[in-house]
Structure 1
Amino acid sequence: MDFKDHFHGKGVVITGAAGLFGLGLAQTFAAAGARICVTDRDQDALDQLLAELDVPGSMAVAADLTSTPDMLALIGTVGRAWGAPDIVINNAAIYPSHFMLDMQIEDWDRMMDVNFRAPFVLTQGFAKQMIADGRKGSVINIGSGASRKMRLTAAPYCISKTALDRLTKGMAQELAQFGIRVNALEPGFSAGSSVSKLSQEHVDRVTRAIPLGRVTSMDDIGPAAMYLASDFASYVTGTTLTVDGGNSIGTLDVFQDKKTPL
């Protein structure tokens, strides 16, 4: 499937662009000729990424997704530059590890702000721009299989992703009349986040339990995101595309002695 002509000149906003998946998504859409607005908290990292992307019309806008003024400023900057984006990817998220009895209220609020509130604020703001500009845009929320299965010490994160899943469906229903599609993309397990560091022992244990036997890469996520954002998915909205090597259908870490079929 060749997306080169499909995204040429399109405007794509990507939050959490300095992170593992955000960086890969920015590179994927830039390689297809899209203009990119990369946003994260670190302006220096964004400026470096923007120089590497080297796509005319792209921009780097630092924003704290716990700050309403920052998010409104981001929306305004994009609107003034592009009129409206064609594609919005709500990728930024944090993965705190807490027992809920121990978690500080401030940590809960920050996680919900980044993982759930920010996608609402940004989708609302950019959707209004799309409607005013007559654009049939696409919004992609980066979800997680954690939305369907609780994880001890990660229950707050699971809850935030469950909320994001319902936001995806609610926004899809409301924005359908304007031709704006809203979907979720669920990547599988991938190590390497600078925000949520994992031990090698943990990485190895989780990887062994994945049916297809490896972690998720950008070669998996990039094409999936491009599909959801493209006209190939023009009749797809309110759905979740899971790209996790089968990890969400079951686990390989508990089984009986008989390890092969037949």
Structure 2
Amino acid sequence: MFDDIKGKRAVVTGACGVIGRWIAEVLHEAGATLCLTDARSQDLETLAKTLGLSGNSFVMPADLTNEASIVALASEIGQRWGAADILVNNAGIYPSAFLLDTTTAEFDRILGINLRAPFILTRELATQMVRKGVKGSIINISSGASRKMRRTACVYSMSKTALDRLTKGFGVELAEYGIRSNALEPGFAAGSTVSALTDAHIQNTVAQIPLGRASSRADVGNALLYLASDASAYVTGATLTVDGGNSIGSLAVHQDKKQAL
């Protein structure tokens, strides 16, 4: 269905996380050449071996809080490939703290990884695309939190709202070059080692999802491949929500209604 992904050069940030790994796997299976990046170098090497990366695919650790590190990553991509075809800005953190307890340093760290890094990397890689005449696809991994403020995660929510606006901004300004910029809101997927969640939080969240389950690799992968492929050639500045209804309603309310009936 997405045969045009084969041979395309794709960059995935935060590749060692749950969703990042899913994205890396589906792009690899679709035949893409990969550049996988994460702050965890050892985990990157393990992932590369697990996937069996070869040829022009490579992994490169990067500190997304450091502009020089991001620019170095972009430079390496330019030297190896000339330009990428697909950029997936997946890396993100979800610390939990009330605003009154959030330090300025933590505020800056959340915005740095969730918003500033996608801006810098997109700027650098899109510049390469323009120079090489590549009609690329930029996909920012957003969240339903961009539309609904979450208690103890207000800075995270704000970062995703801003990321959605940045997505549209790049969509407007890169359209003349045939470069598309879209956002993908995947469903809830537990297991992050960067922003760990308690078992109680995981159970409570899944219990409230209208379609009754957490996200799967297929859910994320199919949506990602759609936005990365020519199947979405006329789509830019859009947000594709694939979260089982988690951002629009609560299963608990539906259950109350059923009980009342």
Who is 1:195 aligned against?
194
Who is 2:169 aligned against?
170
Q: Could you list the per-position Cα deviations for residues 161-217 of structure 1 after superposition, in whole angstroms to 9, with x for gaps in the alignment?
A: 000000000110000000000000001111111112222222111111111000011
Who is 1:66 aligned against?
65
Q: Could you list the per-position Cα deviations for residues 15-42 of structure 1 after superposition, in whole angstroms to 9, with x for gaps in the alignment?
A: 0001111111111100111111000112
Who is 2:98 aligned against?
99
Who is 1:6 aligned against?
4
With over 3 angstroms needed to count, the CA separation of the structure-2 counterparts of 1:57 and 1:261, relative to structure 1, is: farther
Distance 2:85 2:179 in 1: 9
8 Å CA contact retained: 2:170, 2:181: yes
Q: Judge which range, 243-252 or 57-66, deviates more.
A: 243-252
Who is 2:34 aligned against?
36
Who is 2:184 aligned against?
185
Who is 1:52 aligned against?
50
Distance 1:206 1:68 in 2: 35
Long gaps (5+) in structure 1: none
1:243-262 equivalences in 2 (<5 Å): 243-254=242-253, 257-259=256-258
* Corresponding letter in the other structure for 2:26: T
Who is 1:144 aligned against?
143
8 Å CA contact retained: 2:212, 2:251: no
Distance 2:254 2:154 in 1: 25
Three-state SS of the structure 2 residue aligned to 1:14 is strand
* Corresponding letter in the other structure for 1:131: V
Structure with more relative contact order (C-alpha pairs < 8 Å, separation 6 or more):
2
* Corresponding letter in the other structure for 1:30: H
8 Å CA contact retained: 1:50, 1:58: no
Distance 1:101 1:14 in 2: 34
Q: Per-residue deviation at 1:258?
A: 3.8
- State the superposition RMSD in angstroms: 1.4
Who is 1:88 aligned against?
87
Three-state SS of the structure 2 residue aligned to 1:259 is helix
Q: Judge which range, 111-120 or 48-57, deviates more.
A: 48-57
Q: Per-residue deviation at 1:261?
A: 9.3
Distance 1:251 1:179 in 2: 39
Q: Per-residue deviation at 1:131?
A: 0.4
Who is 2:75 aligned against?
76
Structure having the higher helix fraction is 2
Distance 2:256 2:59 in 1: 54
Who is 1:112 aligned against?
111
Q: Per-residue deviation at 1:9?
A: 1.3
1:199-218 equivalences in 2 (<5 Å): 199-218=198-217
Who is 2:20 aligned against?
22
Distance 2:255 2:9 in 1: 51
Distance 1:167 1:151 in 2: 21
- Give TM-score scaled by structure 2 length: 0.96
Q: Per-residue deviation at 1:254?
A: 3.5
With over 3 angstroms needed to count, the CA separation of the structure-2 counterparts of 1:63 and 1:257, relative to structure 1, is: closer
Aligned length: 260
Distance 2:149 2:30 in 1: 37
